[in-house]
């Protein structure tokens, strides 16, 4: 199977595999060995935290890790699993930032899926109006998109800074040692290294059935209280009309996976394999905590 065919098949799978269209791609940490190397999964899913499709190795344009002020090192692909691409980080005696960027894909979205897609990414009024004008002219939805994913593995010597070369980034700000339950987390969204204002981003927790939205300010910054310990993901999609291809959309998807500790428990001790009874209890508690968060700063749809 040639590379072009595999990339095309991957792009089609993201669109056709589920009724939902805003398929995010994110990292999930699995284990750390005695040498300090993390095993990570990188995959795509309809809704966090369930990974459904691996990001093809051929689709990786950029993949790296960095600790403190050290140089970027390679994030090594290991094998493609059914639901994710397995990768290994370089050895790290402490915190580590890792990231990946896909090659761009092109697609034409079926008309019946566009409304759902715009709702799932919390598209702005300007995007909605632009699409209404295109639809009135009988134009199809053509889009060129790329995925950008980042994960923070917290610990001493963490470096919370923009990932070099990443075209869209979500940078955690503040104390490098990591957040604890109830803290306020601050983040900055960047596009081509510049602050991205007015972007809707959603925060999702591994045990909550719903997330909550925030809108970045003029400096591309957003903050929110983190009411639950465990694994989180920040997700956002910057969708705009192309400056190079008439009547075509450009989109960049971004995710940031990070941990929130509970009291003195370190993030990597927050168990991800719970019994069904424990999951049920935690799911209920998570639903209550997340329901207390306002759904969005500014209604978008």
Residues 18-46: tens digit of each pLDDT: 434 558 999 999 989 999 999 999 999 99
Band (pLDDT 50/70/90 cuts) for residue 133 is: very high
pLDDT at 178: 79
Q: Can you tell me the mean pLDDT for 121-130?
A: 98
Q: Which of 135, 160, 177 is nearest to 67 (CA)?
A: 160
pLDDT exceeds 50 at position 15: no
pLDDT at 295: 54
- β-pairing verdict for 194-195 and 200-205: unpaired
Q: Can you tell me the mean pLDDT for 92-120?
A: 94
pTM of the model: 0.85
pLDDT exceeds 90 at position 245: yes
Q: Which of 241, 235, 240 is nearest to 212 (CA)?
A: 235
More confident residue, 96 or 297: 96
Question: If 0-12 CB within 10 Å is exposed, 13-18 middle and 19+ buried, where does residue 244 land?
Answer: exposed
pLDDT exceeds 80 at position 244: yes
Q: Which of 231, 182, 233 is nearest to 207 (CA)?
A: 231
**Rounded CA separation 106/144 (Å):** 4
Average pLDDT, whole number, for the chain?
85
Q: Which of 254, 265, 204 is nearest to 231 (CA)?
A: 204
Residues 255-296: tens digit of each pLDDT: 999 999 996 555 444 444 333 343 444 555 565 666 566 555
Q: Which of 259, 235, 234, 281 is nearest to 181 (CA)?
A: 259
């Amino acid at each position: 199977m040639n590379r072009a065919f595999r990339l095309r098949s991957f792009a089609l799978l993201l669109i056709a595999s589920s009724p939902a269209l805003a398929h995010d791609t994110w990292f999930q940490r699995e284990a750390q060995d005695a040498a300090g190397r993390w095993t990570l999964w990188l995959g795509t899913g309809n809704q966090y935290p369930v990974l459904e499709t691996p990001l093809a190795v051929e689709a990786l344009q950029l993949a790296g890790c960095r600790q403190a002020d050290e140089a970027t090192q390679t994030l090594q692909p290991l094998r493609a699993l059914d639901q994710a691409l397995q990768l290994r980080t370089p050895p790290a005696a402490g915190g580590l930032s890792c990231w990946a960027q896909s090659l761009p894909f092109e697609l034409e979205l079926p008309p019946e899926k566009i409304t759902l897609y715009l709702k799932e990414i919390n598209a702005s009024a300007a995007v909605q109006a632009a699409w209404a004008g295109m639809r009135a002219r009988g134009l199809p939805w053509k889009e060129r998109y790329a995925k950008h994913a980042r994960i923070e593995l917290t610990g001493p010597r963490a470096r919370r800074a923009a990932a070099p070369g990443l075209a869209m980034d979500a940078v955690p700000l503040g104390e490098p040692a990591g957040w604890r339950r109830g803290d306020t987390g601050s983040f900055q969204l960047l596009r081509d290294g510049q602050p991205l204002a007015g972007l809707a981003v959603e925060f999702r927790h591994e045990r909550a059935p719903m997330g909550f939205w925030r809108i970045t300010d003029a400096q591309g910054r957003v903050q929110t209280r983190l009411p639950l310990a465990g694994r989180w993901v920040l997700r956002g999609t910057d969708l705009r009309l192309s400056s190079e291809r008439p009547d075509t959309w450009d989109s960049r998807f971004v995710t940031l996976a990070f941990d929130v500790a509970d009291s003195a428990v370190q993030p990597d001790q927050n168990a991800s394999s719970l019994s069904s009874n424990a999951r049920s209890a935690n799911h209920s508690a998570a639903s209550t905590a997340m329901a207390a968060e306002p759904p969005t700063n500014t209604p978008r749809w």
